[in-house]
A = this chain, B = another copy of it.
Amino acid sequence: MIKLAACLLFALHLSAGDEWRDQGVIYLDHSPRAVMHPVPIRAVKLGAGFWQERRRVNVERSIPTMFELLEAHGIVDNFRRLSGRKDAPRKGPLYTDSDLYKWMEAVAFVLQSGDNPKLRATLDAIIDDIRAAQEPSGYLNTNYVGDKVPLRFTEMYRSHELYCLGHLLQAGIAYYRATGDRKLLDIGIRFVDYLTANFGPEKRPLLTGHPELEMALVELYRTNGNRAYLNLAGYLLSGVETERLHLKPSQVSYMFSGIPFTSRTIFEGHAVRAMYASSGATDYYLETSDPLYHKTLDTLWADLTNRKMYITGGVGSRSDGEAFGDPYELPNSQAYTESCAAIGNMMWNFRMLAASGESRFADVMERALYNGINSGMSLDGTLYCYRNPLASDGEKIRNEWYDTTCCPPNLERILASLPGYFYSTSKDGLYVNFYHDSELNWQGLKVTQKTNYPWSGDVEFTVTPESAREFTMFLRIPAWSHNSNVELNGGKIPGQPGQYLALRRTWKPGDQFTLRLDMTPHLIAANPRISEDAGKAALQRGPLIYCLEQPDQTARIPDLSLINPTTGFANQFRKDLFGGVVVLKHQGAAYDQPLDREPLYETLDQASRRKMNPVSLTFIPYYAWANREPSAMEVWVPLK
């Protein structure tokens, strides 16, 4: 524990040669406002179970097949043609570079968990291709070349030049943190240095038309300590160039960029842009402690979680503009809820958690991760959702490729980096954010979790510091766990929902305790202002939101209602289904006459005479839907 304390209380060892080994998904050990410091990905090994199975599929299937598709669609060749290694026309929309970079970041995260020679060799070859494509000035983008050179930085509201750079930097940082090798990072830095030399208040104006670079720049500053990069992030967030760039109000709404971030009070416009901008702004706040940022981020968080977030953690209600809607505008079938936006929501709340130490942010992370993100990739790891609606008539929702293929590699990098989200340290001790069968091994402290979470709420902990030492174990009690306690030395310590339970004591090697979370399924009501959910209920068990999918029902989904809502649910672990899931059964009723044969409007009197027959409803976890034949699904079920 000496090293742990040292790291947290003093520690400025940027000069050491292997500091990259200590750096996690984000690296906050020297961030003035950080209350919590994430541990590196390599410090946590997940055991068998829920996430590890997805991570295995991710490495064995998703990442390799996605690379084949990136090659097949010419996305890597777009770089090779610039160096003359390939003679082919440029392929795909203008932002395809970022899809490759995001895939590379996913591979780099995989390497942070342990070597994978084949993936590393592939990655090294691509890095070589990218380096060969970079211009001597540092500029690097496969779209703005040839006769498009004059358009560089002239249409930043749509160009994605800085967006691609942001993903390049993040991939470079992840590769550095995996290997200690700066070669990809340096490619990104050369481009950033080109920007700092030519753009800024006294030079040419700059804009992140799709926010993303802000996060990357702050992380770059955390990686190499060069304050110029933090300042550039601050300049981008300052939004002072509205006039010089002739930005229209509709553009600054849509982009969530171009006006001062601290002037924002509501979420609007493109959901992914808004989530990435908020993540970058939180990163900036973590480094600067600027109270205006704090106030803005708090206001925005309240807007999101009180008015604009789906129960799955998905965000972005409208297809039109892939955008936030009005307050309480949360349609189910029509939900846009892009996988990337749910990922952005998790990334943002991870930063808010670090800045506050407050469990409510981890609750949102968990909600998004287990549901709105988790639904984004098929169980076999080769098909992806772009949209993650909460109801469906059965249209095909999963595809192996999208021309705008932002979501698939984004899902891959989340799964690859997942262990890095589990634990954080502080000057007081260790925070446990997530539960899973696993082992933490970090700076002289080992913590093992034995659990079948999320199917079971029991987690057996073993804490093994190098030697006995006083510190606090902070155990996150999720807001959904109404009755939680820790069994320790024969006693029971109750936990408050939505708070970290602090166990402060002198921990000796091999100390054990058991956390018992309350996995009672609950019916959830939406605020009646969400028009589509009025008179309906959703089902939650632990962190998982459930749904009805057609193959499990005896009547057609649109004709089903839930009855006797105070009756409990029957739990059943189905080993044969989706690799093993808990399904839940409850009493329901089905209209005798299918609703699509009934009139569109009739008097309440006439409508109330419709007959219903009792049926049994079978709920499956939402994330597992659309892994059989495309069929109808709904999360919010009418209450009879």
Residue in B326, B333, B607 whose CB lies within 8 Å of A326: B333
Contact partners of A320 in chain B: CB under 8 A: 318-320
Given the known inter-chain contacts A534-B534, A595-B527, A602-B524, please indicate yes or no for A329 contacting B319, CB distance below 8 A: no
In the complex, A604 has a CB within 8 A of chain B: yes
Main secondary structure of the interface of A (DSSP, over half): mixed
Q: Chain B contacts of A530 at CB under 8 A?
A: 600
Report the minimum CB–CB distance from A330 to chain B (whole Å).
9
A311 within 8 A of B: yes
Are A602 and B536 interface neighbours, CB within 8 A?
A: no
Contact A599 B537 (CB under 8 A): no
| CB of A334 closer than 8 Å to a CB of B | yes
Q: Which of A492-543 contact B (CB under 8 A)?
A: 522-532, 534-538
A558 to chain B minimum Cβ distance, whole angstroms, is 5
A407 in the interface, Cβ–Cβ < 8 Å?
A: no
Kindly state whether residue A181 has any CB partner on chain B within 8 Å. Answer: no
Contact of A524 among B319, B527, B603 (CB under 8 A): B603
User: CB within 8 A of A331: which of B331, B535, B598, B599?
Assistant: B331
- Interface check A332, CB cutoff 8 A: yes
Contacts of A529 in B (CB 8 A): 558, 595-596
* A10 at interface, CB cutoff 8 A: no
Q: How far is the CA of A306 from the CA of B601 in the complex (A)?
A: 8
Instruction: Give, as a whole number of angstroms, the nearest-CB distance from A391 to chain B.
Output: 7
Contact indicator per residue, chain A 300-312, by CB within 8 Å of chain B (1) or not (0): 0000011101010
Contact A527–B600 (Cβ < 8 Å): yes
Q: Of B325, B525, B536, B602, which contacts A525 at CB under 8 A?
A: B602
Q: A319-B320, A393-B326 are in contact. Are A531 and B332 (CB under 8 A)?
A: yes
0/1 string, A127-143, CB within 8 A of B gives 1: 00000000000000000
How far is it, in angstroms, between the C-alpha of A309 and the C-alpha of B599 when the chains are bound?
Answer: 11
Q: Is A565 an interface residue (CB 8 A)?
A: yes
Contact indicator B638/A524 (Cβ below 8 Å):
no
Measured between alpha carbons, how far is A598 from B606 in the docked complex, in Å? 34
Query: B531 and A333: CB pair below 8 A?
Result: yes
Q: Do B537 and A604 have beta carbons less than 8 Å apart?
A: yes
Name 27 A/B residue pairs within 8 A (Cβ), A-sorted: A306-B596, A306-B600, A307-B596, A307-B600, A309-B600, A311-B601, A318-B320, A319-B320, A325-B334, A329-B333, A331-B331, A331-B532, A522-B603, A523-B604, A524-B601, A524-B603, A525-B602, A525-B604, A525-B606, A527-B601, A528-B558, A528-B591, A528-B595, A534-B535, A535-B536, A535-B638, A604-B639
